[in-house]
Amino acid sequence: MCRIAGLVDFTKGLNSKQLEELTLSMRDSMSHGGPDDAGIYVDEGKGVALGHRRLSILDLSPLGHQPMITEGAEIVITYNGEIYNFQEIKQDLINQGYKFRSNTDTEVIIKAYQEWGENTFHKLLGMFAFCLYDKNRKVIYLVRDHAGIKPLYYHVSSEKYLLFASEVKTFKAFDKGWEANRDWNIYFLIFGHIPEPFTTLKNVYMLPKGSFLKFDLQNNNYQIEEYTSFTFSNTINNHDNAVKDVREIFTKAVNRHLISDAPIGVFLSGGIDSSLVAIVASGFMGENLRTLSIIFNEKDYTEEKYQKIVHDKIKSKHSTKIVTQNDFINNLGDMFSAMDQPTVDGINTYFISQCAKEQGLKAVLSGIGGDELFGGYPSFSRIDKFWIFKSWKRKKLFRFFEYLDNDRLKRLSFLSIENPLAYYLLFRGFFSFNFVMDYLDADRTEIERALEKVYLNNKSEMGSKNFVSYLETDLYMKNQLLKDADFFGMWHSLEIRVPFLDKKLMDTVFSINESIKFHTGQPKYLITKAFEDILPKEIVSREKAGFSFPFQIWMRNNLYNLSNFIPNQNKKITKKVLDKFGNGKLHWSRFWALVVMGVKNN
């Protein structure tokens, strides 16, 4: 797992030294994500420079140095990620006569490309983002994994440069005066994150998941192509077969995700997903498995009881970190520095990643994805109450709810939007249009124009719960959970792996009939049924609590200091927000959103 960056100078106006210096500044702005090694490649004749920071996990030797170059120097790659099936691909290539110098998955990608070209990309099982430079064909590929687990941002100027990087802040290292995206504040206040492909910077975009950008160095043109995608179907209609398939494929996925030449562990929150990952992983690693948990002095929030049930069951080498209010306050500055893009979530990921680093781990497995695929969120049970409105023609009547003081009822106003986003915002929207208009001094047309740019497939024909699964996967998980896991994990030089997002598992789950997958309305019915013999009953039957901290208490106790981060652009509205939060009438995440927005605007 690493950090990558690079540039292509169309004008050929930059000499070798300038190319190197600019790329080094971009690369080393992400040194936290690759503390073990660093490399750079420059082809002045083509105006190409590729940078790499390495976090060594597979083949810890110098043979894993990047950018990696083929023996004939015709192909160069700078790569971030893990290919979990690289050994099978490698053996296939060996059988065809290829020879390897290292035990890295990086070299396998290069040799696979030499054999199969663009057809290589869909063969890769893993999480990855890489740049591959084919000197003979005079093309550059930017490639991102099937689920968007690893980030890859890019900028193309028609007259000057192609730039790419693992983090948005890297573009500011290239140009400190980079102009902001004028819509990012709107997106953040509406969603609580910035939806792909947009970022805080103007004309800096996230490459879509399951896609590659192909750049032709001969004419400076590029195109983006999708090489893999997921569709909902009903090809698996037998209940017992579905249960059997999920168990078998998930078990294999966890095993694949354990491959590592560096210390590896599992995040254990005490919920179903992380508990299942730990239990299945223990079947392969036994008592050598490392598990990590966070607990609090505030007993109403700590999940130590459930964590203990699991690590006692599997006899793992367990580490616990107590996080206090002082820890939260003392780490604020570092947390904001780690936050590559504004988010209202992820503070938990920051601290558990910090804990993993303190324990000497370089890679961990997480339960991200279980809720989205198997129906763990309240949105799955609530959707049927509102599904009747999907074809209703008088949706604008819902604007009435914007004027209510109850935050939950306010969300009903999002059903006035003529866009599939309406249902996502109904369940997860942050601030209403009226609030955003007043707080940012924007008009409704401006907000609606920004939302129209957020492309979303209308999957409603696949059934209400599959539609929710799509929304939670393609918006909440992709734009918030995975981004948070990446930049907070990598800030602590930690790779976070997500076996629930194994490509074969996702393919299978999306093929299971909705009536089987979400049988009886029981949250996560299918995954718990598949592992009912090994999941502790206390874990399955407990009420979903999430991986939460006592933030409401901590932030209210530090209201004065935190409120200093909030821009006072509208004193009346700011005072109302602070009063509501201080009186316990506003959820901490909304208060925190204004804090984060203030920090990121300065």
CB 322 within 8 A of CB 297: yes
238 three-class SS? coil
At 374 the three-state DSSP class reads helix
- Catalytic residue status for 355: no
Residues in the chain: 602
Dist CA 103 CA 273 (whole Å): 31
Closest CA to 104 of 75, 144, 66: 66
Sheet of 264-267: strand order equals 317-322, 290-295, 264-267, 363-365, 495-497
* Stretch (H or E) spanning 515: helix 514-517
Sign, CA dihedral 353-356-358-360, equals: negative
Which pair of structure tokens corresponds to residue 589?
Answer: 């995440």
Element (H, E) at 507: helix 503-510
Instruction: Give, in order, the Cα–Cα distances in Å from 544 to each of 35, 127, 298, 528.
Output: 37, 28, 18, 14
Handedness of CA 344, 347, 348, 353 (dihedral sign): positive
In which element (H, E) is residue 428 found? helix 421-428
E strands present in 45-125: 48-54, 68-69, 75-83
Catalytic residue among 2, 249, 451, 505: 2
Q: How far apart are alpha carbons 161 and 48 in whole angstroms?
A: 10
Closest to 275 measured CA to CA, from 309, 305, 247, 249: 309
CA atoms within 13 A on the CB side of 350: 19
> What's the token pair of residue 296?
């609090």
Q: Which residues are catalytic?
A: 2
